[in-house]
Amino acid sequence: MEPVWLKHYPHGIPAEVDIFRYTSLRDMFEQSCKRFHAHPAFTNMGVAMTYGELDRFSREFGAYLQQVAGLSKGERVAIMLPNLLQYPVALFGALRAGMVVVNVNPLSAPRELRHQLADSGAVAVLVLENFAHTLQEVLGATVVRHVITTQIGDLFPPLRACLVNFVIKRIKRLVPRWDLPGAISFNTALKLGARHDLTEVALDHADIAFLQYTGGTTGLAKGAILTHGNMVANVEQTSAWIGSTLKEGEEVIVTPLPLYHIFALTANLLTFVKWGANDILITNPRDIPRFVRELATTRFTAITGVNTLFNLLLHDPGFAAVKKAHAGTLKVSVAGGMAVQRTVAEGWQQAMGMPLIEGYGLTEASPIVCINPLDAKTFSGKIGIPIPSTLVAIRDENGCELPPNEMGEICVRGPQVMRGYWNMPEETTRVLSADGWLRTGDIGVMDERGYIQFIDRHKDVIVVSGFKAYPTEIEDVVMMLPGVKEVCAVGVPDERSGEVVKIYLVKKDSSLTAETVLAHCRTNLTGYKVPKQVEFREKLPKSPIGKILRRKLKEEHLTR
């Protein structure tokens, strides 16, 4: 039977995509480099790199890995960088050489870094000098044989590179002392690679492209095995969805989220390379005033982010200049990675004249599963409908599919779903059925049209005297108060009811009181959902992509 959501697809979007259009990510990349040779591919801190330059640099890096470092097809190469020009060079260089990329958060704690490098069996790592001291701590517990270090300005024009690197190291002192015997510089690796030819190895959909580690919110991170087939499929699925809105070779996408995160990796880097776009890499999006200044002076047609980032942009005094500069030029604003709050979405639409298009995905699905139509006129409060070649079902605890408007677990099947977890067969069996259905651990509801509403992560649900309270719903209600800038709801232990709701708030209005917040909640929430504890904070802990870390707040409460 035809899935119900297909009847509600925007005009021109197919039910299925040709997932075999490219044999691998290398095939897709090399075709784009030929088609858009002279076009800018990536821009960072005002310095642009063309597709032709990206082709050459990545070929040199791949040749270094093969011919100088002596790595073979399938060996793992870790990339430990923020958003810099070096990232796409290293990524495509490793993929073209037949290696498997292990994306690593450069801000990882030693314990996390040790686990990812050791678990993946990475034999080479590219690291920004600013974080080399962390690598130094754990290197002995890994099988890494080759360390390549880089500085922020290494791919800038010579004079600017010297100036930027000097300021970072000597003036701002952002590079702690490190000692990694045998390490070579990124530019040296390129020079060595330029003396050799890149040997083309056979690659197809079955070959592994990434070991993409999950956030590790419930323990040590798990490495999702994502093949070239998974990633090509998700790029084609995404491309089909945006095809009627964007034009090849003309778009400029802003990338504030880190490329080592699966959302930006697929939605920004890979998809927009296929489209021949110019990708504006934001190295430090946490510096909101500087980020806003860059937005105000950069012509862009698309931007992706998470709820917290869009919220911070809207609250920055300089954002008025962004609104003025981009009236009528912005085509797409996509939010993912976490639930979007209605107040943020409506604020963005009022400011930019277009809604935030919310989507849904997860690392294990490469990541994109659902998205709202790009021609939506207003924020829907839903995560959209399944993208082409994707099936989604809402199932109960026994795995039985539920009828429309019944709450259950979101389950996914499609060519973008991972092969499994690296070295974790039991965990793989727990989430991945024999016929390819992925249990996401997320709770949702599907309506009669196939649109899905995300309720919450199963592990975040607060159980009050047997009744389930969903943090996302509580946070949405609290954000309705004009004096609230950010909020997070968690469940904390209680002798009488098992758990009660506690909220952490960042004020926008300094006169806001806990009494005002609680009165508002009593008016808008059922009794058991009303917070019993309110704590004001100057800021809330966030992940590298800006997700508020409920787990960390809960752990802090338990520790106290």
Please tell me the chain's helix, strand, coil percentages from 3-state DSSP, rounded to the nearest 5. 35, 25, 40
Q: What residue spans define the domains of the chain?
A: 27-34+46-203, 238-457, 461-559
Task: List CB contacts of 385: < 8 A, sequence separation 6 or more.
Answer: 5, 8, 9, 370, 371, 372, 373, 449, 450, 451, 452
Question: How many angstroms separate the most distant Cα atoms in the chain?
Answer: 72
76, 100 Cβ separation under 8 angstroms: yes
Whole-number Å distance between alpha carbons of 361 and 262: 9
* The pairing of beta strand 100-103 with beta strand 357-361: unpaired
Model's pTM, two decimal places?
0.90
In this prediction, residue 544 carries a pLDDT of 82
The answer on pLDDT for 191 being more than 70 is yes
Q: pLDDT tens digits for 415-460?
A: 999 999 999 999 999 999 999 999 999 999 999 999 999 998 888 9
Q: Is residue 475 classed as helix, strand or coil in its secondary structure?
A: helix
> What is the per-residue burial (b if ≥16 Cβ within 10 Å, else e) of 21-53?
ebbbbbbbbbebbeebeebbbbbbbebebbbeb
In this predicted structure, the answer to whether residue 217 has a pLDDT above a threshold of 90 is: no
pLDDT band at residue 176 under the 50/70/90 scheme: very high
Stretch 322-335: mean pLDDT: 90
Residues 6+ apart with CB under 8 A from 181: none
Mean pLDDT of 98-112: 94
CATH 3.40.50.1000 describes domain 238-457: no
Q: HEC states along 509-560?
A: CCCCCHHHHHHHHHHHCCHHHCCCEEEECCCCCECCCCCECHHHHHHHHHHC
Identify any residues that bridge with 469 across adjacent strands, giving them in sequence order: 462
Contact 337, 306 (CB under 8 A): yes
Mean pLDDT over each residue of the chain, to the nearest integer: 95
Pick the CATH number of 461-559 from 3.40.228.10, 3.30.310.50, 3.30.300.30, 3.10.105.10: 3.30.300.30
What are the C-alpha distances in Å from 260 to residues 78, 107, 195, 263, 513?
10, 11, 29, 9, 39
Whose CA is closest to 392, among 373, 375, 409, 374? 409
Give 426's contacts (C-beta < 8 A, 6+ positions apart).
Answer: none
Q: Do domains 238-457 and 461-559 have the same CATH topology?
A: no
Q: Between the CA atoms of 387, 393, 394 and 399, what dihedral angle is there, to the nearest 10 degrees?
A: -150
* C-beta separation of 230 from 416 below 8 A: yes
pLDDT band at 495 (very low <50, low <70, confident <90, very high): confident
- Yes or no: is domain 27-34+46-203 CATH 3.40.50.980? yes
Per-residue pLDDT of 61-71, as tens digits, reads 999 999 999 99
